[in-house]
Chains A and B, each alone.
Chain A
Amino acid sequence: MNKSGLVTRLAIIITFAAAVVGFLSTQVFYRITYLHELEISKQEIVQLNTTVSATTSIASYLEDEELLKEVVNGLVSNSVVSSVGIKTKTLSIASTNHQIDDNSIEFQLFSPFEKDREVGSLLITPNIDHIQSRAEQISNDNVIAIAVQASIVTLVVIFVSVVIITTPIIKIAKQLHQITPGTSARLDIPLHHHHSELGTLVSDINSVLIKTEQHIKDERMLRTEVEKLGKNFHMLFENSTSPIILTEPKGDILLYNQAFLKLLERINVPFKKNYGPYLSELFLEPESLNNRVEIAFGNSEIASGEFKLQPSESSEQPIWVQAIISSSISDDYKEHYQITLHDISKRKLQLEDLDLKANTDELTQLLNRRGSEQTLTKFINSKTPFALIMMDLNKFKPINDIYGHDAGDEILIHIANQLTVTLRRRDLLSRWGGDEFVIILPNLTQQEVVEVAIKINESIKQSYFLEKYNKEVSVGCSMGAAFYPEDNQDLASLIACADKAMYYAKESHNNTFFCLYGQLLNEKKVE
């Protein structure tokens, strides 16, 4: 049997309690019984005295030794009496072993004929041993009675506890022990306990089991879903061609995908735990990235922008990425940055290519009208002073008509080359259309512009040999210049000014090849 089992414990406690209570009550009962018996004995002795008082009285009065002895012997023969002594005026009769103690009772003896004439005294000592043994006997009987009663009560209590309480509880406990929470197993309500607290307990446990099962089911489903979602996310994350990185605000990398490692490989940077905030070390211009991010975060927006990465020694093409940086606060109030990098190098390249194509004149490889307009707008926007020369070729149309368009094209290419050689690197040269060219000269004085114009004229005037036709041809040019911002600050108007000056030069016929718009105005005023 289980030592700490309920039944054993119950039995031990009840038995122990019964023993203690039995022992104590026996002790108390013995004491009470003893005192009671002592009292009874004293009463018995008083009664004895009353019984023999007539005889004692006569015997003492007569001082009759025989009679007194008879009385003494009679009293001593009583079991409650230990010893007896009678004293008269002349006699002293006592039983053997006569002794006087605290319990001894003395009776005065009076003459049978004169009630106030004292004739002696009777001393009776109770038999304490007898009283004790009688008390012991009584309390022993009592002990047996209590023991029997206690045993019966103990057995009944244990039996009842076992049958009504412990057995069902143990049964419930065993059943519960074997139940795995989350399964459909339930406890049986013990027999005859449908309306008891045990029945309620079992019902409550069952409802807890039902709830647990439901919870576990729900949780399992949820977990499956989360796992699936997680897998998908993982797949999405790992298979993403774009590097995705999660960092702490200080730049410590928490999470990254394969694409990030590939990117690092491409730019030949070894993997580190930290590349500075927003991976700024990887970018060619970290300041612009930082600015962009700070502005966006300041407005609680997602930062995004196109940035160039640090060029590696091996790869010639710079890598452009679109960086999207968002800040998020986790459940535990920690700030994280999610950085997504999209490789846009190819697109950038294509765009650049397209841009180039769109802005370039196919024939001469100079800027076309669109390209030059863009550049001009840039200059105007940045308030860079410049001179705009509009140039138109003379005697070009006949060449085109006589020798065909191929010859014309050849001439145009030649002119372009001549102009390129003549001008500074920073000057811009564009074919405006047909045989018109626009030259932009930033940061030059009027005098310097005039000098450039003369140089241009000189280089164009030189004759060109058409191999195909074995013929030498030459073209001339007319140029008009306008200054930004002096002449006009609007691009279209500025072009119109230059155009006007150019036509003035063309129409003057007297070998004028160049005209400044400012001069034109002065002359008109003069006219």
Chain B
Amino acid sequence: MNKWLSFILLTSLCLPAYPQTMTNDPIVIVINAQNPIDKMTRSEVIDIFMGKYVAFANGDKAIAFDLNSEQDIKKRFYQALVGRSLASINAYWSRIRFSGRMRVSQQFSSSQEVANEIEGTKLAIGYIPKSLLTNKLKVVYELNE
């Protein structure tokens, strides 16, 4: 009864997201400053974070950095990027795991940690509050919440 299972799973993804509090600190998607990519489209960002591609447009392998706990910024990020709650995102990953696809992102406990890690990893990509930007990081996309 695959059909019914997927039905239940997918309908749960469609649940409306909770309204988010607006902050003055926008979320930016950043990469290592040494990465040749300068700009990314929203779709490219989505493709990497939702597991469609594990590479940049130029073919370099991309390593997505995510947060491991349900922090506010993570909620805001997914809400702004794909319009889904974290539960929905988790359900998505659970769903596609049956087909053998694994979440490939590396998980960290804070945005600071993420920022630091990207500074040291050439092919990493992650999201951080704009306030954490350093010159070792390059903004490829800025989310409009």
| Chain A residues close to B by CB (< 8 Å) | 51-55, 58-59, 61-64, 66-67, 70, 74, 77, 111-114, 117
Q: B42 on the interface (CB 8 Å rule)?
A: yes
> How close is A308's CB to chain B, nearest CB, in angstroms?
141
Q: Give Cα distance in the complex from A53 to B9, angstroms.
A: 12
A-B pairs, 7 with minimum CB distance: A54-B10, A113-B82, A55-B6, A66-B99, A67-B99, A74-B3, A113-B46
Q: Give CA–CA (A63, B53) in the complex, Å.
A: 10
User: Separation in Å of the B109 CB from the closest CB of chain A?
Assistant: 26
In the complex, whether B16 has a CB less than 8 A from a CB of chain A is: no
A–B complex contacts, Cβ < 8 Å, 24 sampled: A51-B3, A52-B3, A52-B6, A54-B6, A54-B9, A54-B10, A54-B14, A55-B9, A58-B10, A59-B99, A61-B50, A61-B52, A62-B50, A62-B51, A62-B101, A64-B96, A64-B99, A67-B98, A74-B2, A74-B3, A112-B92, A113-B83, A113-B84, A117-B43
Q: Which residues of chain A are near B52, meaning CB under 8 Å?
A: 61-63
- CB of B13 closer than 8 Å to a CB of A: yes
Q: What's the A-B contact tally at a CB cutoff of 8 Å?
A: 59
Is there a chain A Cβ closer than 8 Å to B95's Cβ? Answer: yes
B11 interface residue (CB < 8 Å to A): yes
Q: Which residues of B contact A55 (CB under 8 A)?
A: 6, 9-10, 95
Residues of A within 8 A of B18 (CB): none
CB distance from A95 to the nearest CB of B (A): 15
Alpha-carbon gap, A175 to B54, bound state (A): 106
Contact indicator A114/B99 (Cβ below 8 Å): no
Residues on B lying within 8 angstroms of A by beta carbon are 2-3, 6-7, 9-11, 13-14, 42-43, 46, 50-52, 81-84, 92, 95-96, 98-101
Distance A61 CA – B43 CA, assembled complex (angstroms): 11
Instruction: Kindly identify which residue among B6, B14, B81, B101 contacts A64, using a CB–CB cutoff of 8 Å.
Output: B101
Task: Given A54-B10, A62-B51, verify A114-B95 contact (CB < 8 Å).
Answer: no
Q: Once bound together, how far apart are the Cα atoms of A111 and B52, in whole Å? A: 11
Min CB–CB distance B77 → chain A (angstroms): 13
Chain B residue contacts of A64, Cβ below 8 A: 96, 99, 101
- Asked if residues A66 and B100 are in contact (CB atoms below 8 Å), the reply is yes
A114 touches B46 (CB 8 A): yes
- Whether A54 lies near B13 (C-beta < 8 A) is yes
| Selected contact of A58 from candidates B2, B14, B92, CB within 8 Å | B92
- CB pair B95–A58 under 8 Å, yes or no, is yes
- State in angstroms the CA–CA spacing of A51 and B13 once bound together: 13
- Kindly list 16 other residue pairs between chains A and B, CB separation below 8 angstroms, not including A63-B52, A74-B6, A112-B92: A52-B3, A53-B10, A54-B9, A54-B10, A54-B14, A55-B10, A61-B50, A62-B51, A67-B96, A67-B99, A74-B3, A111-B43, A113-B82, A114-B43, A114-B82, A117-B43
The minimal Cβ–Cβ distance linking B35 to chain A, given in whole angstroms, is: 23
Complex Cα distance, B3 from A141, in Å, reads 32
Q: Complex formed: what's the CA distance from A66 to B84 in Å?
A: 25
Q: How many angstroms from the CA of A58 to the CA of B98 in the assembled complex?
A: 13
Across-interface contacts of B98 in A (CB, < 8 A): 67
Whose C-beta in chain A lies nearest to the C-beta of B81? A113
Task: State how many angstroms separate the Cβ of A112 from the closest Cβ of chain B.
Answer: 8
> Using Cβ atoms and an 8 Å threshold, which residues of chain A touch B42?
114
For A54, the chain B residues whose CB sits under 8 A away are 6, 9-11, 13-14
* Complex Cα gap A51–B4 (Å): 9
CB-defined contacts of A112 to chain B, threshold 8 Å? 13, 82, 92
Min Cβ gap B95→A in Å is 7
Least distance between A49 CB and chain B CB atoms (Å): 12
Nearest CB in chain A: distance from B16 CB, A: 15
**Cα distance A63–B7 in the bound complex, in angstroms:** 19
- A113 to chain B minimum Cβ distance, whole angstroms, is 4
Closest beta carbon of chain B to A312's beta carbon, Å: 140
CB distance from A416 to the nearest CB of B (A): 172
Most chain A beta carbons < 10 A, residue from B42, B52, B84, B100: B52
Bound: A322/B72 CA distance, A: 161
What residues of B have a CB within 8 angstroms of the CB of A117 in the complex? 43
In the bound complex, do residue B2 and residue A70 qualify as a contact, i.e. CB atoms below 8 Å apart?
yes
- Chain B residues near A58 (CB-CB < 8 A): 10, 92, 95-96
Q: How long is the Cα–Cα vector from A113 to B92 in the complex, in angstroms?
A: 11
Contacts of B92 in A (CB 8 A): 58, 112
Q: A503 to chain B: closest CB distance in Å?
A: 180
In this complex, what residue of B is CB-closest to A77?
B3
- Set of chain A residues within 8 Å of B13, measured between Cβ atoms: 54, 112
A113 nearest in chain B by CB position? B82
Alpha-carbon gap, A114 to B95, bound state (A): 18
Residues from chain B with a CB closer than 8 A to the CB of A63 are 52
Contact A62 B96 (CB under 8 A): yes
Bound complex: CA A279 to CA B52 (Å):
144
**Residue of B whose beta carbon sits closest to that of A70:** B2
Residue of A nearest to B84 (CB): A113
Residues of B within 8 A of A114 (CB): 42-43, 46, 82
CA distance A235 to B58 in the complex (A): 150
Q: How far is the CA of A111 from the CA of B44 in the complex (A)?
A: 13
Residue with the highest number of chain A CB atoms closer than 10 Å, among B10, B51, B83: B10
For A59, A62, A113, the residue with the greatest tally of chain B CB atoms inside 10 Å of its CB is A113
Chain A residues with Cβ below 8 Å from B2 are 70, 74
A274 to B42 CA separation, bound complex (whole angstroms): 141
A51 to B2, CA, bound (A): 12
Residues on the A chain within 8 Å of B95, using CB: 55, 58
Residues of A within 8 A of B84 (CB): 113
Residues of B within 8 A of A77 (CB): 3
- Residues of A close to B43: CB separation below 8 A: 111, 114, 117
CB B100 to nearest CB in A, in angstroms, measures 7
Q: Smallest CB-CB separation from A55: which chain B residue?
A: B6
Nearest CB in chain A: distance from B117 CB, A: 25
A406 to B14, CA, bound (A): 186
**Complex CA–CA separation, A117 to B45 (angstroms):** 14
Residues of A within 8 A of B6 (CB): 52, 54-55, 74
How many Å lie between the Cα of A111 and that of B96 in the bound state?
A: 14
